[in-house]
Homo-oligomer: A and B are copies of this chain.
């Protein structure tokens, strides 16, 4: 089966389904329906059925979805049935928070290297990691075969650091810097910009 043609908008909803299903499972539930899942994530049951049908037949008419099975399938589709090593660049407040964040491990990710360019930070320990010099980043990331990075550097240097990460073989960048990055084809960027999230909502405020 090839997933190539699946629209990105559908792909973007799968991690949200996975998160909600994992939450149900943690609460001891074994089966769910597209209706119940839809209520949890604020998406219509019809949309959920349509999204999932892109990838196969996961539910049974009348009995709904087996949660453990669907979680397994979604993890496989999203390629988080393995653990990805992640490089974190920029050890300011946000970088610190990310390195200490406990929520990655069971969702497919593990911080494995941290970098900063400030002399006062290099060599220090953050959350069990020794902060490495960004000047060693390209070779260290390439050598480790790391394909995923989180960018927590100031906006002014984000593009330059992103270029280096791409040069090192990184293909997925989660960008916390409030700036759009230019990357070559085949490299993905996702943005976590709190102001953008807030502005999407103030539009609707009276």
Contact = CB atoms under 8 A, between A and B. Distances in A.
A200 B84 contact: no
A120 interface: no
Interface in A115-139: none
B98 A194 contact: yes
Given A109-B195, A180-B19, A203 B171 contact: no
Interface string A99-118: 01101100111000000000
Contact of A97 (B94, B172, B188, B199): B94
Contacts of A15: 193, 195-196, 199-200
A144 interface: no
Copies of the polypeptide in the assembly = 2
Contacts of A86: 198
Given A97-B96, A101-B194, A180-B23, A79 B12 contact: no
A166 to B, nearest CB: 13
Interface in A171-194: 171-174, 178-180, 182, 188, 190-194
B202 A108 contact: yes
A194 B199 CA distance: 19
Interface in A28-74: 39-42
Given A171-B205, A180-B23, A192 B200 contact: no
Nearest to A94: B97
A24 to B, nearest CB: 11
Interface of A: 3, 11-12, 14-16, 18-20, 23, 39-42, 77-80, 84, 86, 92-94, 96-98, 100-101, 103-104, 107-109, 147-148, 150, 155, 171-174, 178-180, 182, 188, 190-205
Q: Lowest 7 A-B CB distances belong to which pairs?
A: A172-B201, A93-B97, A15-B199, A190-B197, A107-B195, A15-B196, A188-B201
